[in-house]
Amino acid sequence: MRKSKLHKYDDPGHGWVKTTYRALEILGLTDKISPYSYREGNTVWLEEDCDAPLLIRTLRGLGNEIEIISHFRNSQSPIRYKHPYYQTLANI
């Protein structure tokens, strides 16, 4: 079994799991991500309610053991100021 480490970033209001656009391409998930996730270049922050669980289920379905490393910020996360995922897709 392979182990996948994912970093989860939380602020007092929400959370996101960090991954890469390339990983989403390989997994066939690029068109399944909601507009509530964010992207900057190859880095994608998947919102915690639907998109991050989709990534985790997909990885587990491929036999990966998931380790989540949590990071908490006691103020609004700068992730909130990134481009929404759907806007960046229009520019690809």
Determine contact, residues 8/16, Cβ cutoff 8 Å. Answer: yes
DSSP state of 42: T
Tens of pLDDT, residue by residue, the chain (92 residues):
789 999 999 999 999 999 999 999 999 999 999 999 999 999 999 999 999 999 999 999 999 999 999 999 999 999 999 999 986 655 55
> Are β-strands 43-47 and 15-20 bridged in parallel, bridged antiparallel, or unpaired?
antiparallel
- As given in the structure block, the two tokens for residue 74 are 């006691």
Query: What span, in angstroms and rounded, lies between the C-alpha atoms of 86 and 91?
Result: 9
Domains and CATH numbers, the chain: 2-90 (3.30.780)
Q: Name the 3-class secondary structure at 11.
A: coil
The terminus-to-terminus CA distance of the chain in angstroms comes to 34
Instruction: Give this prediction's pTM.
Output: 0.90
What per-residue confidence (pLDDT) applies to 62? 95
